[in-house]
Structures are given as structure tokens and as C-alpha cells.
Amino acid sequence: MTDLKQIDWVPLGLIIGMALLALPLVGDPAAWLTLTAAGLAMGMMIFVMSSGLTLVFGLMDVINFGHGVFISIGAYVALLVFVPLAAWGAADSLVLNLSLVGLAILVATAATGALGYAFERVVIRPVYGQHLKQILITTGGLIVAEQLIHALWGANPIPLRLPETLRGSFLIGDAAVERFRVFAIVLGLAVFAAMYIGLNRTRIGLLIRAGVENREMVEALGYDIRKIFIGVFVAGSALAGLGGVLWALYRQILVASMGMEMMVLIFIAIIIGGLGSVGGCFAGSILLALLANYTGFLMPKLAPVSNILLMLAILVWRPQGLYPVAKR
Amino acid sequence: MLRHLLSGDLPRSHALGAVLMIVLVALAGAPFLFPGSQSLNVAAKICVFIVLAASYDLLLGYTGIVSFAHTMFYGIGGYGIAIAMHGISATWGAMGIGIALALLASLILAVIIGLFSLRVRAIFFAMITLAVASAFAVLASQLRDITGGEDGRSYSVPMVLRPSFRLFDEPVLGVSITGRMLSYYIVFFSSLLLFLAALRIVNSPFGRVLQAIRENEFRAEALGYRVVVYRTVASVLSAAMATLAGALMALWLRYTGPDTTLSFAIMIDILLMVVIGGMGTLYGAVLGAVIFILAQNYLQLVMAKLSAATSGIPLLPQLLHPDRWLLWLGILFVLSVYFFPTGIVGRLRAGRR
């Protein structure tokens, strides 16, 4: 995996091919650039939200249908920073604005990470190895948590204003690319790079990858896979919280169900990518978001089913997803 | 006779039998026992949701697969009626065409989803049904010309089912027999029939195979049963029943829209009903639906009182706010899955010993 020759370039080629194919279809290069940037930003957000879920599944065969609620909680916890420090966001200073967002991300990821720890302990642990119960329990957790958000923050949607310097667009030629989207792309790439290095260059990453491939073997070598798993679960929940902050800034309006509405895209992304594969999840998220943007522009009527059609096409081509993980 | 009607699947508990009897009598006599349009509405909803929950239990409880596309089939039934009655005419013929086409659509979709995703594991099926159902919901609200979009469709029903229709000039037992009441009895008897049919299915040799698959998939396969085929047939049957439930609801409401048929909230409601009532027994669906619909309509009154009574204490009034009724049912749901996976029915049956 560390050797460039070992990387399967076909799915990445697919992304580039799709973008290039869309160029003549869209016609106007400026519109194409706007669409592509929007798609990449969306894809990065989906990736940030879904990468934890796919690792959790790969490592421990646990599926968390309540994952979406960590996204919502991340967004709502970020309010605790955004509201009292609103002056930082209103100031026309990049440093103040970015430190506000950074602080919000820090608080949100800490909160969702801690919550993930509790969730793993209380909710997930009793139902290891029982898929049916996992789906039911985590869905139940989702219902309760959504209602708790309503109880704590009220049932009305809460508006959130983007910090001043992240508003508006960059003009590249005729194309307008929203600043926040560039920010999301940069952040998403940073997360991907951090995960890639963490998984491929560190000892713990090696154990995680080995655990995804063959859990029993890692255990037989004397490592406590449960401890690794808890770490991954916490990290995955924190990433969902980070995704929640981004998603909240993107929507600029918070509702308790905002995480749940992303779950469909997240599931499709991790299925397309191959359950358990971070790289696949990255490629899948971007493919999904780009296609959604292009079809939304070219054939709006077809847009709602474009995800499903993409999933069908990919699964017919590679039934185990873009980057199949061994044994699945 | 009774044993035969229930396909040999008796309640096996005096308490459960008594509760079921009360539900049956209350629903059968609802127009006379609880006059008033709101209570009749609640009764009709209970009838339809019993069928819906029972059809879902066929999948969840008997076959052991989790689908999130059940509301899609429910919605197809509703839209079948809506499109036929709105587009053709408010006649029985149009209604028949609508139901037939809706059943056909559900059948095709269920077979496609089943063959595509039931080969793999339960998790895959759950995720794929969630994706397909949400795409369907978006599609339904986008195709405005056909479905009426977000607003949905209101339509007329055949003459004899309209509220203004009177069967007799004189009231019977102090209640005049209106078209509304006839509609209710169509809903009631259809639901009863569908429920008995579901009982028949789960207690047939076919139903036994489903339970065998739920308990041990590999063993069932090794014994020579084609697991994929059985699961697909189960999901098709369940989809067909959900479609009919949707058609009944449409007939009763005379309105079909995305929020009342396709939303994820309804999917959650069905899940709660089946699990709280008791998975793997159709009587659980009955109790679950009754408790849930009653809670949905009347728990809020109780909670409003409690919320007012605790108004001095921090946080508690918010938790007891009438709009938070789902919070408490959600907690009940989680506790059910952990501590009594056989639900209320399982508890009642265990209490006998």
C-alpha cells in the first residue's frame, strides 16, 4: 500500500475521467469549474463524516446506524463556541475567523469523541457480533439523541452565520468558487493525508490495517484489538463531529435531523468504496458528490436517483466495492 | 373454528388473549363505542398500522432482516390510489386499477432489491434499502405532475364512502350510518383479513423455513432451502401487504403526500411498534401499533400536565414537553432490545409460567 505501484489507480482514473467527460457536456468551463469545486467540497465533507464509520465496520464488524447523530451533535456543540464568540466571526480578519472555526472544531470533536467513548461502552459493547441488534440499538440511540437535541436546544432550526472571511467567492476567470468550499476541500485533504499517513506510517496504523484484514491473527499475536477498536471508534465519532461543524457551516442552518439526512450518502459512499477501506471511502465520496453535482446541472430530474444508479453500476463492476478489503 | 382462523397460533397467555379481545371489540365497535371523528380516526389508524407492523414483523421478526424501505411500499399503495382516483375518476374501477398497479410496482421493486442485496449480509440490505427508499421519497416529491409534489394529492372517493352519504334515513343505535363509517368498516375488515392472512403465512411450512433461516442461515441452506429465494419471497409478501395497508390509509384519509407515507419518521414508528410489541410474533405488532398510536395521540396530554407540574425544576419540563413523547418511546425501544427482545408479548407469555 505504501508503494505507489501497488495502488489501484483505476478508481482514481474514474473520478478524473468523469470530471473530464462532464466538461464538454456542461459546455461552459466556468460553470464546470464551479460545479467541480462544489462537488469536491461536498465529497470531502462526506468523506470526513464517513471515514470513521467504514473503519469501525472493517475492524470490528460493527455498524453504527446512529453515526449521523454524532454529526448533528458536533454541529450543535459548535454553537457553544460560535454563539458567545460571534464577534470573532463578524470581524473581517482571517486569523480571528479561522481561530473561531478551529476552536469550534476542537470543542465539537472533543465532545463527540467523548460521547463516542460512552456510546461504545454503553450501547455497542453488549451487542458485539449481533448485526440485527446493532442496527436496532443504534437506530434507537439515534431517536433518543435527536429528541435530546430538541429538548436541549429547542425544536426550531437555528441559523448560523459563516465567519466573514469565509463568505463570498474567489473569482477564477469567469468562474466563481465559494471560499468556504475551498476551505472544506483543504480541510478534507488534510484529514485524508493525516489518516493516510497515520494508517500507513505508524505502528498503530499498521495494527489497524492488519485488524481490518484479519482480526483473529492480530489477536493471536498478542495485541488487544478491543483497545484499538475503542480508539478507532472514538476517532470516528470525533471525525463525525468535525464533519458536523463543516456541514453546519455549509448549510448555515441547524436542525436535529441534519446528520441523519447525510446517512444515505454516507452509506452509499462506504458501500461504493468497499466496506472497511478508507481509500475507497475517499474515492467513493468524491465520485458520489461529483456525479450528484453534474447530474443536478445536466439532468435535474435524474439527480435524486443518480446515487443509486452509481452504486448499482459500481457494484455490478466490482461487487466488493472500489477497493475490496480481503475476506469481505 | 377459532384455532383454524388463527392458523393454530393462539395467544398462549390469558392476559394476552384478554388484551387482544379488548382491542378487537374496541376496533370492531369503534364508531358506536367512541363516536366523534378524532377517535374514529385513531381507530382507523390503529387498524392500518397493525397491518403495516405485522407485515414488517414478517421481515424483521420472522426472517431476521432489517429493511428501511417498508414505508416506500406503504407509499406506493397510497400513491396508487391517489394517482388513480385523481387521474382517472373517483370510482371503484379506478380504485381497483390503482391497487393492482401499485401491487405490481411493489412486486417488481421488492424482487429487484431482494435479488440484488439479500445475497449478502443483513447490514448491506439495511443500508441499500435506506438508500433506495430515500431516493424514492425525493423522486416522489419531485415528480410534481404525477404525485402532486410536496403538497401531495387530495381526491374524492366513491359516493357511498363520502361523509355526506347516509345508508339509512334513521340513525342506528343512536348513530347515523354515514359513508365515513362504511369507509371505517372497509378499513377494519380488510385489516382483519390481512392480519389473518399474515398469521396463515407465518404458521405455514414456508413460515417455518423463514424462522429456520433467521435462527441459522447456513444450516437452513445445508438442509436444502434456497435462502435467497425464501428471503426474497418473504420481502415480496411483506411489501405487498404494506402496499395494501398504504391503499387502505389513502382510502381513509382521501389524501396522499410524502410526509404521511414516505417519510423516515414513519419508518421509525413502524420499527418502534414492532420491537416494543414483540418481534417474531404478529400479536406483538397488534399491541405495538395500539400502544404507539394511542401514545402518539394521547400521551402528549399527559405529558403536558407533567411538564406544567414540574415547571420549577431545570431541564425536566423540557424533557416532559408534549413534543418529546418520542423520546420516551425511544428509550422504551432501546430498553426493549436489551432487556426483553421478545417485547410485551414475550413478557405476557412468560408471565404465565
- The CATH number for B193's domain is 1.10.3470
Res A4: pLDDT: 62
Q: Is residue A325, in this structure, part of any structural domain at all?
A: no
Facing A136 at nearest CB: one of B132, B275, B329? B275
Q: Is residue B208, in this structure, part of any structural domain at all?
A: yes
Q: What burial class does residue B351 get, using C-beta atoms within 10 Å of its C-beta: 0-12 exposed, 13-18 middle, 19+ buried? A: exposed
For B181, the domain range is: 2-263
CA–CA dist A23, A30 (Å, integer)? 10
Number of domains chain A contains:
1
Q: Is residue B339, in this structure, part of any structural domain at all?
A: no
Give A328's pLDDT tier (boundaries 50, 70, 90): very low
Chain B neighbors of A144, CB-CB under 8 A: 327, 330-331, 334
Res B54: pLDDT: 96
Question: A interface toward B at CB cutoff 8 Å?
Answer: 57, 63, 65, 123, 126, 131-133, 135-137, 139-141, 143-144, 147-148, 150-152, 155, 260, 263-264, 267-268, 271, 301, 304-305, 307-308, 311-312, 315
Judge if ipTM > 0.90.
Answer: no
Q: Is residue B97, in this structure, part of any structural domain at all?
A: yes
Is A308's CB within 8 Å of B135's CB? yes
Query: C-alpha grid cell for residue A3?
Result: 508503494
Q: What burial class does residue A269 get, using C-beta atoms within 10 Å of its C-beta: 0-12 exposed, 13-18 middle, 19+ buried? A: buried
Q: Which of A70, A78, A71 is CA-nearest to residue A120?
A: A70
What would the mean pLDDT of A152-162 be, rounded to a whole number?
Answer: 89
Res B297: pLDDT: 84
Q: Is residue B252, in this structure, part of any structural domain at all?
A: yes
CA–CA dist B192, B24 (Å, integer)? 9
Q: Is residue B337, in this structure, part of any structural domain at all?
A: no
For A38, the domain range is: 4-317
In one-letter notation, the amino acid at residue B112 is I
- The full 3-state SS of B301-336, as one line of letters, equals HHHHHHHHHCCCCCCHHHHCCHHHHHHHHHHHHHHH
Is B318's CB within 8 Å of A151's CB? yes
Beta-bridge partners for B255:
B154
Q: Is residue A326, in this structure, part of any structural domain at all?
A: no
pLDDT winner (highest mean) among A175-179, A311-315, B273-277: B273-277
Put residue B213 in one of left, alpha, beta given phi > 0 → left and psi -120 to 50 → alpha: alpha
Count chain A–chain B contacts defined by CB atoms under 8 A.
93
Which of the two residues, A205 and A165, has the higher pLDDT score? A205
CA–CA dist A246, A80 (Å, integer)? 15
DSSP symbol at B178 = B
Number of domains chain B contains:
1
Is A136's CB within 8 Å of B337's CB? yes
CA angle B311, B314, B320 (to 5 degrees): 60
Res A1: pLDDT: 46
Helix A179-201 × helix A29-60 angle, to 10°: 30
Could you tell me the mean pLDDT of each successive run of 10 residues in chain B, 353 residues long? 79 86 91 85 95 95 90 95 87 91 95 80 82 89 83 83 76 76 93 95 93 90 91 94 96 89 90 91 93 87 81 78 85 87 84 56
**Does residue A28 carry a pLDDT above 90?**
no
Asked whether the CA dihedral B305, B306, B307, B309 is positive or negative, the reply is: positive
pLDDT, tens digit (0-9, with 9 covering 90-100), for A237-271: 999 999 999 999 998 899 998 988 899 899 999 98
Is B134's CB within 8 Å of A155's CB? no
Res B352: pLDDT: 53
Chain A neighbors of B334, CB-CB under 8 A: 123, 137, 140-141, 144
In one-letter notation, the amino acid at residue B173 is L
Query: How distant is the Cα of A137 from the closest Cα of chain B, in angstroms?
Result: 6
C-alpha torsion B199→B200→B201→B202, nearest 10: 50
Chain B neighbors of A151, CB-CB under 8 A: 315, 318-319, 321, 324, 327
Q: Which of B329, B209, B258, B265 is CA-nearest to residue B75?
A: B258
Q: Is residue B174, in this structure, part of any structural domain at all?
A: yes
- The full 3-state SS of B85-102, as one line of letters, equals HHHCCCCHHHHHHHHHHH
CA–CA dist B241, B109 (Å, integer)? 14
Q: Is residue A323, in this structure, part of any structural domain at all?
A: no
What would the mean pLDDT of A47-74 be, rounded to a whole number?
Answer: 89
Chain B neighbors of A57, CB-CB under 8 A: 123
Q: Is residue B273, in this structure, part of any structural domain at all?
A: no
Res B121: pLDDT: 67
Q: In B112-239, at which residue ranges do the beta strands (DSSP E only) sit?
A: 153-154
Chain A neighbors of B131, CB-CB under 8 A: 264, 267-268, 307-308, 311
CATH code, A262? 1.10.3470
Res A254: pLDDT: 93
User: By CA distance, what is A315's nearest residue in B?
Assistant: B116
What would the mean pLDDT of A44-60 be, rounded to a whole number?
Answer: 89
Instruction: Please indicate if any CB of chain A lies within 8 Å of the CB of B319.
Output: yes
Q: Is residue A322, in this structure, part of any structural domain at all?
A: no
What would the mean pLDDT of A194-211 be, rounded to a whole number?
Answer: 89
DSSP symbol at B153 = E
User: By CA distance, what is A62's nearest residue in B?
Assistant: B123
The answer to which of A5-19, A219-233, B267-281 has the lowest mean pLDDT is: A5-19
Query: How distant is the Cα of B138 from the closest Cα of chain A, in angstroms?
Result: 6
Res A233: pLDDT: 92
CA–CA dist A318, B138 (Å, integer)? 27
